[in-house]
């Protein structure tokens, strides 16, 4: 990570007055505090508030203090402590490295032996510092959805919902990834459920952090499990998700910059509600062969223009230009091919029509993004 002084100097040299911090690592590292200290306006939470993503144990304790519905849990700071705590849980066992682990710090184990081995790996340094402490949780049954809100620490503006597809393979099989595709809205988050998530999860979190002297300013991404007992918090992210961000932006009709600045300047209360298109946006991630293991680098990509001529938008995630100026793959998740439609089925058809025009022989994508919702649409 770049030194905070370097970033501050860069902003000063170019007379930059407003900074939007995207990813979690610099937020958890306190870059927002450093830039605010230098007199800049910043979109993104302080180091203290970013603990919501940076420490699973911090968030679980906060939920307990504020009465926010989430899975029961135990924090453990040593392998012996964790093994003893595990006796109180029944399978499947949910084990989480406390700190940031790029989405790889969660293990769901069916058997005790598997859980013991995973704990040994975590405390053995598999995730470095992130695994110095572990959270063990009750397993929650249900469907997952994501809910987004902007807040300046006092006012909260809902930003809609989305659903991601975390597994690499069709039918939600294979290893976990950062996300292979998403859609928004997520009709499973009915207006009633969105109200519950706001009132029972997001608002009490914002209030508790403010009361405890660490007001949260930025975007709050609540991952929730829709259980038989109502929505429960799975985790918080202190950023727009990837690929959830792409579908939210595709639907956004308000001026994003105005809202981010209003958050930074603590005047979200002066802004009208965000306007989102009633259409559905769906994005398909095109990844490089090998992902989520070792992705093949350098594969040529052509015909993005043809895909965009259909009305789709192709967001670049892991691309580069080679010395001759050709577009090539330079990461795991390479492109997000995103389209709108009247419903999920139409948005899916539009997105895949664009995908099929892109020439990326060393890449792949899931062909079933949106399947749960489309099944529900077809069931009527
Ligand atoms: P997290 O990084 O905390 O979001 O966890 C990654 C994934 O593990 C989540 O998106 C869920 O699919 C799953 N997961 C996490 N915690 C639980 C839980 N308590 N019960 C069931 N599944 C969970
Ligand atoms: N797509 C999940 C995340 O950004 O954390």
Q: Please tell me if the CB atom of residue 139 comes closer than 6 angstroms to any atom of ligand 1.
A: yes
DSSP SS3 for 31? helix
- Ligand 1 pocket: which of 106, 173, 180, 222 to mutate (most atoms within 8 A of CB): 106
**What pLDDT is stored for residue 380 in this prediction?**
77
More confident position, 244 or 176: 244
More confident position, 356 or 178: 356
**What pLDDT is stored for residue 371 in this prediction?**
96
Q: Please tell me if the CB atom of residue 53 comes closer than 6 angstroms to any atom of ligand 1.
A: no
CA 237 to ligand 2 center in whole angstroms:
8
Q: Please tell me if the CB atom of residue 109 comes closer than 6 angstroms to any atom of ligand 1.
A: no
Band (34; pLDDT cuts 50, 70, 90) = very high
Q: Please tell me if the CB atom of residue 48 comes closer than 6 angstroms to any atom of ligand 1.
A: no
Query: Could you read off the pLDDT of 175-209 as tens digits, one per residue?
Result: 888 899 999 999 999 999 999 999 999 999 999 99
| Tokens, residue 91 | 């399978």
Across the range 22-51, mean pLDDT stands at 96
More confident position, 102 or 301: 301
- Rounded to whole angstroms, the Cα distance separating 330 from 296 reads 8
Does pLDDT of 47 surpass 90?
A: yes
Band (124; pLDDT cuts 50, 70, 90) = confident
Closest CA to 186 of 151, 235, 223: 223
**Ligand 2 atom showing the smallest separation from residue 244 Cα:** 1
Chain-wide mean pLDDT for the chain?
95
Ligand 2 neighbours by CB, cut-off 6 Å: 103, 164, 178-179, 237, 241-242, 244
Q: Please tell me if the CB atom of residue 24 comes closer than 6 angstroms to any atom of ligand 1.
A: no
Burial of 364 (0-12, 13-18, 19+ CB in 10 A): middle
Distances from the Cα of 32 to the Cα of 131, 153, 245, angstroms = 25, 14, 20
Q: 3-state SS of 322-368?
A: CCCCCEEECCCEEEEEEEEECCHHHHHHHHHHHHCCCECCCEECCCC
Contacts 24+ apart (CB under 8 A), 186-193: 186/145, 186/146, 186/161, 186/162, 186/373, 187/344, 187/373, 187/376, 188/143, 188/145, 188/163, 188/226, 188/372, 188/373, 188/376, 189/145, 189/147, 189/161, 189/226, 193/226, 193/231
Band (262; pLDDT cuts 50, 70, 90) = very high
Verdict on whether the full-model pTM lies above 0.85? yes
**What pLDDT is stored for residue 192 in this prediction?**
96
Band (48; pLDDT cuts 50, 70, 90) = very high
Query: Could you read off the pLDDT of 60-72 as tens digits, one per residue?
Result: 999 999 999 999 9
DSSP SS3 for 159? strand
Does pLDDT of 131 surpass 80?
A: no
**Shortest-distance ligand to the CA of residue 247:** 2
- Ligand 2 pocket: which of 27, 52, 178 to mutate (most atoms within 8 A of CB): 178
% of the chain beyond a pLDDT of 90: 92
CA 297 to ligand 2 center in whole angstroms:
22
Q: Which residues contact 316 (CB under 8 A, 6 or more apart)?
A: 334, 335
Across the range 263-270, mean pLDDT stands at 96
**Ligand 2 atom showing the smallest separation from residue 245 Cα:** 4
**Shortest-distance ligand to the CA of residue 96:** 1
> Using CA positions, which residue lies closest to atom 2 of ligand 2?
241
**Ligand 1 atom showing the smallest separation from residue 138 Cα:** 19
**Ligand 1 atom showing the smallest separation from residue 139 Cα:** 20
Q: Please tell me if the CB atom of residue 106 comes closer than 6 angstroms to any atom of ligand 1.
A: yes
**Ligand 2 atom showing the smallest separation from residue 240 Cα:** 4
Q: Nearest 5°: CA angle at 250, between 378 and 348?
A: 30
Does pLDDT of 303 surpass 90?
A: yes
CA 14 to ligand 1 center in whole angstroms:
42
**Shortest-distance ligand to the CA of residue 148:** 2
Burial of 311 (0-12, 13-18, 19+ CB in 10 A): exposed
Q: Please tell me if the CB atom of residue 29 comes closer than 6 angstroms to any atom of ligand 1.
A: no
| Tokens, residue 146 | 């994501």
Does pLDDT of 141 surpass 60?
A: yes
Band (2; pLDDT cuts 50, 70, 90) = low
Across the range 51-77, mean pLDDT stands at 96
Does pLDDT of 1 surpass 60?
A: no
Does pLDDT of 132 surpass 90?
A: no
**Shortest-distance ligand to the CA of residue 239:** 2
Does pLDDT of 359 surpass 80?
A: yes
Q: Cis ω on the peptide bond leading into residue 292 (within 30° of 0)?
A: yes
Across the range 144-167, mean pLDDT stands at 96
Q: Please tell me if the CB atom of residue 144 comes closer than 6 angstroms to any atom of ligand 1.
A: yes
């Amino acid at each position: 990570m770049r030194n905070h002084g370097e970033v501050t100097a860069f902003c000063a040299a170019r007379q930059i007055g407003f900074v939007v911090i995207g990813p979690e690592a610099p937020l958890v590292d306190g870059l927002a505090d450093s830039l605010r200290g230098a007199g800049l306006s910043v979109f993104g939470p302080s180091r203290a508030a970013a603990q919501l993503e940076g420490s699973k144990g911090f968030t679980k304790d906060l939920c307990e203090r504020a009465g926010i519905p989430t899975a029961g849990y135990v924090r453990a700071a040593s392998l012996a402590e964790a093994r003893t705590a595990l006796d109180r849980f029944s399978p499947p066992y949910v084990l989480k490295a406390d700190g940031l682990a790029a989405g790889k710090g969660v293990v769901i184990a069916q058997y005790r032996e598997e859980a013991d081995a995973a704990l040994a790996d975590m405390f053995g340094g598999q995730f470095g510092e992130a695994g110095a402490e572990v959270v063990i949780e009750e397993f929650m049954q249900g469907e997952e959805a994501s809910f987004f809100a902007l807040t300046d620490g006092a006012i909260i503006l809902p930003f809609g919902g989305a659903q991601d597809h975390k597994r690499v393979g069709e039918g939600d099989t294979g290893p976990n990834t950062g996300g292979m595709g998403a859609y928004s809205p997520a009709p499973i988050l009915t207006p009633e459920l969105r109200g519950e998530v706001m009132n029972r999860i997001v608002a009490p979190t914002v209030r508790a952090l403010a009361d405890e002297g660490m007001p949260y300013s930025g975007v709050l991404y609540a991952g929730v499990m829709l259980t038989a007992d109502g929505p429960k918090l799975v985790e918080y992210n202190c950023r727009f998700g990837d690929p959830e961000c792409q579908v939210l932006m595709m639907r956004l009709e308000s001026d994003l910059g105005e809202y981010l600045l209003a958050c930074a300047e603590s005047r979200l209360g002066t802004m009208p509600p965000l306007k989102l298109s009633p259409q559905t946006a769906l994005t398909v991630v095109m990844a490089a062969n090998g992902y989520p293991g070792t992705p093949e680098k350098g594969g040529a990509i052509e015909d993005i223009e043809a895909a965009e001529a259909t009305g789709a938008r192709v967001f670049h995630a892991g691309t580069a230009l080679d010395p001759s100026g050709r577009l090539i793959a330079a990461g795991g998740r390479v492109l997000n091919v995103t389209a709108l439609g009247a419903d999920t089925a139409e948005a899916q058809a539009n997105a895949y029509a664009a995908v099929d025009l892109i020439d990326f022989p060393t890449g792949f994508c899931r062909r079933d993004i949106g399947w749960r919702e489309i099944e529900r649409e077809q069931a009527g």
